[in-house]
Amino acid sequence: ARHLEGEYKTELEKILPKDKDKGIVISHISDAEAKQFAYEIKDYLDKNGYKIVDVRAILQGDPFNGWRVGPEDNRNIKLLIGSNIN
């Protein structure tokens, strides 16, 4: 299982918006590990003053590994959490 520490935390901090007023939507694929990691990220962002709009499951689309930033709209940044790549 992934945990938000070390390399993962460094990667996350690189992609976070400088403007903490911008909303973040965290979407995870429907597996228990990805969901747990998404909520760990949510807790970290909450503690650091970011605005979390939603945490939700990705219900369609191709499965993917790792994590990435999804398409941004004018209000929110989308953080997509895929499967663990061990």
pTM, entire model = 0.87
CA 41, CA 3: separation in Å to the nearest integer?
A: 9
Contact at 8 Å (CB) between 45 and 52? yes
The residue that leads in pLDDT, 22 or 3, is: 3
Coil, helix or strand for 48?
Answer: coil
Confidence label for 86 from pLDDT (cuts 50, 70 and 90): low
| DSSP codes joined into one string, 15-45 | HS-S-TTSEEEEEE-SSHHHHHHHHHHHHHH
Average pLDDT, the chain: 88
